[in-house]
């Protein structure tokens, strides 16, 4: 099976910055695919390690690999959008494989076959292993094709969370070619925003197999996002921007209040470790301001007081939490989505 005029059917893309530690395994996972009708574009974002050397070495060995070396450093999602713009014009599908991650040998074959069999689908997801957990669970096995509007609505209301990360998704290239910015904002989690933006008029497919792997380490974007609350604020931002397309006004107001309560509860748990960290609090204030909200010290203190009252009934648990904050206040833990 090939694209028109001999064009590869799939564009596989790896946007990367300083990914030398894991890039070889990522590339090898693509080369080990049982499906071979693809082009593979590696976009080096001005790395200062051996990323470019690794990419060039593989480029010299396999004609399907093409390396693009950025002349200027780009933001994470800007680099992803650049990678998407480099796809061959007639490819039918797009598969991003993040440089920290890898895909299992049948990934492309299974996802492409599924997309070919279900032309109403604009995106296809799959299960992803992250550490000891299997992520993206929540759809019943019988639900392999669902309305994009329905799954966006369910996700905005709290789950299931099946969109996953770019490495666990296959995109129909036609969706990507509708805009110069498929990922609609600069937030590192704009891949989820893209699901809300583009699934309004197509279906979402899901292959109920483990086909992708996300590496957990302290320097990963996800670990840092959890540390500094980027993921929570991204959820609030997506709800603010896309909620009106999928929810009733009453549902949107209620869900916004729920997420803001969750966010302030999260902030309360970070008071000790960031009590003197001006940058941390400036990030929180700026993030809320960008979404049209104002940081409220009164709400923070009220949430802290309520939490204190709740934990008075279990002083041992409260002490263990406090000791955990002391121990981990100066480091970023390797974590994936909770």
Written as six digits, the tokens of 221 are 């974007």
State the Cα–Cα distance between residues 28 and 180, nearest whole angstrom: 30
Same domain, 148 and 70: yes
Cα–Cα dist 126/145, whole Å: 12
Q: What is the CATH number of the domain that holds 115?
A: 3.90.550.10
List all residues 6 or more positions away from 217 whose beta carbon is below 8 Å from its beta carbon: 100, 223, 334
Check residue 225 and give its pLDDT: 62
Q: Is 296 helix (H, G, I), strand (E, B) or coil?
A: coil
The answer to whether position 36 is within a domain reads yes
**Domain span at residue 231?**
221-328
Query: What ranges in 158-314 are assigned the alpha helix state H?
Result: 173-176, 190-198, 221-228, 230-246, 249-268, 278-290, 297-311
191 & 225 share domain: no
Q: Which long-range contacts (CB under 8 A, 24 or more apart) does 222-227 make?
A: 222/165, 222/335, 222/336, 222/337, 223/332, 223/333, 223/334, 223/335, 223/336, 224/332, 225/188, 225/189, 226/333, 226/335, 226/337, 226/338, 227/332, 227/333
Domain boundary among 175, 195, 214: 214
Per-residue pLDDT of the chain (338 residues; tens, 9 = 90+): 455 456 799 999 999 999 999 999 999 999 999 999 999 999 999 999 999 999 999 999 999 999 999 999 999 999 999 999 999 999 999 999 999 999 999 999 999 999 999 999 999 999 999 988 999 999 999 999 999 999 999 999 998 999 989 999 999 999 999 999 999 999 888 999 999 999 999 999 999 999 999 987 656 555 566 666 788 899 999 999 999 999 999 999 999 999 999 999 999 988 888 888 898 899 999 999 999 999 999 999 999 998 888 766 665 554 454 444 444 444 545 444 44
- Are 98 and 225 in a shared domain? no
The verdict on residue 334 lying in a domain is no
- Produce one character per residue of 52-90: b if its CB has 16 or more CB atoms within 10 Å, e if not: bebbeebbeeeebbebbebeeebebbbbbbbbbeebeee
Question: Do 149 and 200 form a contact (C-beta atoms < 8 A)?
Answer: yes
pLDDT of residue 221: 56
| Residue 13, both tokens | 């893309």
Compute the distance between CA of residue 93 and CA of residue 84 in angstroms, rounded to an integer.
11
The candidate with the shortest Cα–Cα distance to 76, out of 46, 106, 48, is 46
The pTM of the full predicted model, rounded to 2 decimals, is 0.87
pLDDT of residue 309: 82
Residues 231, 123 share a domain = no
Evaluate whether 47 touches 39 at the Cβ level (below 8 Å).
no
The residue from 167, 198, 214 where one domain ends is: 214
Q: Are 177 and 297 part of one and the same domain?
A: no
Q: 165: helix, coil or strand?
A: coil
Does residue 338 form part of some domain? Answer: no
Regarding whether 69 and 119 lie in a shared domain, the answer is yes
No. of H helices and E strands in the chain?
Answer: 13, 10
| pLDDT for the residue numbered 322 | 42
pLDDT at 302: 92
Could you give the 3-state DSSP secondary structure of residue 305?
Answer: helix
pLDDT tens sequence across 240-251: 999 999 999 999
Whether 232 is in a domain gets the answer yes
Q: What is the pLDDT of residues 139-187, one digit of tens each?
A: 999 999 999 999 999 999 998 999 989 999 999 999 999 999 999 999 8
Q: Which of 298, 292, 308 is nearest to 256 (CA)?
A: 292
Residues 159 and 202 in one domain: yes
Q: Are 101 and 250 part of one and the same domain?
A: no
Does residue 185 contact residue 161 with C-beta atoms inside 8 Å? Answer: no
Burial of 240 (C-beta count, 10 Å sphere; 0-12/13-18/19+): middle
Phi/psi for 170 (5° steps) reads -115, 130
**Last residue of a domain, which of 163, 185, 214?**
214
Domain shared by 205 and 232, yes or no:
no
- Burial code of 119-134, b = ≥16 C-beta within 10 A, e = fewer? eebbbbbbbbbbeeee
CB 197 within 8 Å of CB 242: yes
Whether residue 102 lies inside any domain: the answer is yes
Same structural domain for residues 189 and 231? no
Number of compact structural domains in the chain: 2
The answer to whether position 157 is within a domain reads yes
Same domain, yes or no: 184 and 289: no
């Amino acid at each position: 099976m090939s694209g028109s005029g001999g064009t590869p059917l799939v564009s596989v893309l790896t946007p990367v910055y300083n990914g030398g530690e894991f890039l070889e395994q990522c590339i090898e996972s693509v080369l080990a695919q049982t499906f071979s009708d693809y082009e593979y574009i590696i976009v080096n974002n001005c790395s200062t390690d051996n990323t470019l050397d690794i990419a060039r070495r593989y480029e010299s060995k396999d004609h399907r690999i093409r390396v693009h070396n950025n002349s200027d450093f780009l933001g994470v999602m800007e680099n992803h959008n650049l990678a998407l713009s480099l796809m061959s014009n007639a490819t039918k599908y797009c598969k991003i494989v993040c440089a920290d991650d890898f895909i299992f040998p049948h990934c492309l074959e299974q996802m492409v076959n599924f997309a070919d069999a279900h032309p109403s689908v604009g995106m296809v997801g799959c299960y992803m292993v992250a550490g000891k957990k299997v992520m993206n669970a929540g759809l019943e096995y019988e639900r392999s094709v669902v309305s994009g509007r329905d799954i966006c609505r369910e996700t905005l209301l709290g789950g299931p969370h099946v969109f996953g990360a770019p490495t666990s998704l296959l995109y129909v290239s036609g969706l990507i070619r509708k805009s110069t910015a498929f990922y609609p904002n600069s937030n590192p989690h704009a891949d989820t925003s893209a699901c809300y933006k583009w699934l309004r008029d197509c279906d979402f497919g899901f292959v109920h197999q483990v086909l992708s792997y996300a590496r957990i380490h302290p320097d990963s974007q996800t670990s840092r996002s959890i540390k500094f609350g980027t993921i929570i604020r991204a959820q609030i931002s997506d709800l603010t921007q896309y909620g009106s397309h999928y929810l009733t006004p009453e549902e949107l107001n209620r869900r916004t209040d729920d997420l803001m309560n969750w966010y302030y509860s999260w902030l309360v748990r970070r008071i000790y470790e960031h009590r003197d960290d001006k940058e941390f609090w400036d990030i929180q204030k700026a993030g809320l301001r960008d979404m049209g909200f104002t940081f409220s010290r009164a709400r923070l203190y009220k949430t802290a007081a309520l939490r204190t009252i709740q934990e008075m009934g279990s002083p041992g648990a409260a002490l263990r939490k406090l000791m955990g904050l002391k121990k981990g206040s100066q480091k970023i833990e390797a974590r994936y989505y909770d």
